[in-house]
Every structure is written in structure tokens, then in C-alpha cells.
């Protein structure tokens, strides 16, 4: 039976599902700061919540819907009155990158 991240699963189960979907490994909880899931170039934080934040859905949904098949949807996040810029990607995009090509070398 396939597990899905949701209210009925524990946060450990959510991390295991993400690790499996990204062909990565789950880091054990040692009390030290580390990524929950690692896969080559990816260090993934997994957060389980009852619902997704509305602002995130408001950004991800149109980005995914409006991207042509030849482009990957990416959401940029900027906090007002700061120089803090971060890029967010839907999990489906990360899965696509891992299935279609080797992740680019960072650094």
C-alpha cells in the first residue's frame, strides 16, 4: 500500500515518503541541525502541517498551471522591505528534475 503525506501519518513517515520520492535517504533525528532528507545535490527540509499556507498555494498553483511543458515552474518568494530572496519549487518539479536529468553541480 502506498503511503501519502497527510494528517494521518507521522512526521517521520512524511520524511520517509519524501526520501523515497526523491530517491534519497532520510537522516535520523539526532538532535543536531541537519537536512531531513539528502539526495546528491539536495538537502531537503520536510515540514508537516494540517494545511498548506494559502500564500504558498496562491503562488504554486498558477506557476504550475501557467508553465508550458517546455519550462519548469519556479516560485520566487520575497519578504517585503527586505533583501531576502528565496526560490521555491513544487515537489513535482524536483521529481521531474531527478527523473529527467542529473541535478546540476552546485558551487
Same domain, 41 and 59: no
Same domain, 41 and 55: no
State the pLDDT at residue 25: 94
State the pLDDT at residue 105: 47
Range of the domain at 7: 1-50
Strands 42-44, 75-78: pairing is unpaired
**Model confidence at 22, in pLDDT bands (50, 70, 90)?**
confident
pTM: 0.56
- Looking at the structure of the chain, the number of domains it has is 2
Same domain, 42 and 2: yes
Same domain, 25 and 65: no
Can you read off the three cell numbers belonging to residue 33?
A: 541541525
- Last-in-domain residue among 11, 31, 50: 50
State the pLDDT at residue 2: 47
**Residue (of 18, 6, 4, 12) closest to 91 by Cα position:** 18
Residue 104 has pLDDT above 80, yes or no: no
State the pLDDT at residue 53: 81
What's the pLDDT tens digit per position in 34-89? 999 998 888 888 887 888 788 877 888 888 889 888 887 877 777 788 777 666 66
Task: Name the one residue in this structure whose C-alpha cell is 531527478.
Answer: 98
Amino acid at each position: 500500500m502506498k503511503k501519502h503525506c497527510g494528517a494521518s501519518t507521522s512526521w517521520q513517515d512524511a520524511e520517509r515518503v519524501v526520501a523515497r520520492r526523491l530517491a534519497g535517504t532520510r537522516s535520523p533525528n539526532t538532535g543536531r541541525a541537519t537536512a531531513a532528507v539528502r539526495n546528491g545535490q539536495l538537502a531537503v527540509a520536510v515540514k508537516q502541517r494540517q494545511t498548506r499556507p494559502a500564500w504558498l498555494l496562491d503562488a504554486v498553483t498558477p506557476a504550475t498551471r501557467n508553465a508550458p511543458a517546455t519550462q519548469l515552474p519556479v516560485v520566487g518568494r520575497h519578504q517585503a522591505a527586505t533583501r531576502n530572496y528565496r526560490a521555491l519549487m513544487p515537489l513535482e518539479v524536483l521529481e521531474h528534475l531527478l527523473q529527467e536529468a542529473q541535478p546540476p553541480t552546485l558551487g
